[in-house]
Chain A
């Protein structure tokens, strides 16, 4: 039993313990869950410096020529990701003890969190695609359970269902991709796959298709366009859940998976193009939508989408060539760099918003808040740090990682750089809008007027995350996460000064615009209905589902009833009845008639026998 296995199984044990008995005591349930998260974090720390990649494996399923393993590897990006997951996970657990104190289903909530930690750790440590897929599905279900925590609300029930289904659509593609790779390479183990690919002799077209299909999984899990619709709705869940699952870790799993698959992206240029463009499109679209939302969590959700788009775009450059060498690992590292800095500041922002929502008695509309910097100074300070990091102000972490992502585009694709830079401007703008409306001015609602600073148990995680958001971008910090000896991260080749000027200038411009436009406003000054209504994408999907699924389903059901049941079955029943009617005619009820038939039959039998004998 290696440490890695211990880290994987502890949360599962905790979830099972809560399910099987501890649930009768909600307080104990919380302690069990928090305890397991804390232990996991402590166990994960020494793994940072360890250099053993494989951490044990066993055969999970073997039949015929098929053998699927549950194997763990703690190498490369998995180390950093493990630390992100366990650290943010622990902080969110602690925060939840305050946030969910009075919830009547606290035990179920913590069981869900533990289940999530188990599944997420599984994704991080998986050494093969099949195992990753297993835990991929499991994070889906823990996300379903946690989004639907308040299932008595129709909106929460619908949101959880939607999240699961949209993810399943992505997984549909993911599975096809896995199967294509398995069919052509004969293995799903990351190391072995990379080995087979380096030997050459693979079908390039097939690799492109496989990678596009696998990317579908990331599109679903990381909520990229066009499967982004579930993430904003997922904000129906408790806010700590949003911070952990729908900002810092689970939604980043798609990016993590892509980073692990960078060796396939490197040999699949068409697929790489798809990845880059989908990422850039998501970044832009989500940033646009974020500028018009009124719900604090929805703004953060769209911001998450947008940042995930950055990361996906970065990993998509893994196939690009620069200076005669493939960018490969550098692109994956840059994407991952942004992933983990984002994990810090976005978890910070979400937990901060959770504190605000909690203090305002579950008010989420930013236009009913205001002036909170006076009543909640600590929360406001940490929230502003998070905002600055997200907006990309130097020297906070977001600045370094965003630079690294955009440097890839700067070198390889000017169009995508333009999109990314504009998105950076929008990011600074909408975050400033949020802060100005929430923290400045005067309180506009009852909740905001009565707001008080939250308890220390909720503030402590904010401080830790704020510290992380400040320092995570410095080279010494990312050395821990990415591994200092590796390929490092991307830096712009040439035009460095211009590059930095553009980015810093855009961030400052965005902040200035947000501040000037939204200072002392009582309501949205520039309502753009199309953006506020999410460009009607949800409605369009609803129509598609109605038409293509429900209508087809209805038609299928009718066909089933009419044709197959009516014609075939009733038809055969009628046929049987008809034959029966014919035979009935012979039952004349006349004794002598029967005797006559009987005589005929005897004659017939005698005839048969005599002819047969002869």
Chain B
């Protein structure tokens, strides 16, 4: 069985991939997917911690409960986020973030 470090390593990699995607991809749908990857990375480390910090042979269920919350919220967030992206595409005819600069000060 792999140790906690290996789980965290994978989680970190996933998070880095997601962050890189958020920072450097232009398509807003891809950015959105990368956000989800970052969430999954966080979930992975939560489950790993849960497994390894349990006491008396039982895992720490607090973290697993939190993961369920995250998944639920993420589902809702995806629904809203995608709706926003669709609305955005309808309004602007583009999903490239470089074209969306009306917030420039």
Contact = CB atoms under 8 A, between A and B. Distances in A.
Contacts of A591: 31, 97, 100
Contacts of A494: none
B58 interface: no
Contact of B97 (A584, A590, A596, A599): A590
Nearest to A586: B105
B104 A595 contact: no
Contacts of B22: 592, 595
A482 B105 CA distance: 89
Nearest to A594: B103
A68 to B, nearest CB: 64
Contacts of A584: 105
B104 A588 contact: yes
Interface string A550-589: 0000000000000000000000000000000000111111
Contact of B98 (A586, A587, A590): A590
A393 B32 CA distance: 118
Contacts of B24: 592
A599 B22 CA distance: 11
B104 A587 contact: yes
Which applies to chain A's interface (DSSP): helix, strand, loop or mixed? helix
Interface in B19-66: 19, 22-24, 31
Contacts of A585: 105
B3 interface: no
B23 A587 contact: no
Given A592-B22, A592-B23, A592-B24, A587 B97 contact: no
Contacts of A592: 22-24, 31, 97
B5 interface: no
Contacts of B102: 589
Interface string B68-105: 00000000000000000000000000000110111111
B32 to A, nearest CB: 11
A235 B22 CA distance: 92
A586 B105 CA distance: 8
Contacts of B101: 588-590
A577 to B, nearest CB: 13
Nearest to B97: A591
Interface in A5-20: none
Contact of B105 (A587, A595, A596, A599): A587
Given A585-B105, A588-B101, A589-B105, 19 more contacts: A584-B105, A586-B105, A587-B103, A587-B104, A587-B105, A588-B104, A589-B100, A589-B101, A589-B102, A589-B104, A590-B97, A590-B101, A591-B31, A591-B97, A592-B22, A592-B23, A592-B24, A595-B22, A596-B23
6 contacts: A585-B105, A587-B104, A587-B105, A589-B104, A591-B31, A592-B24
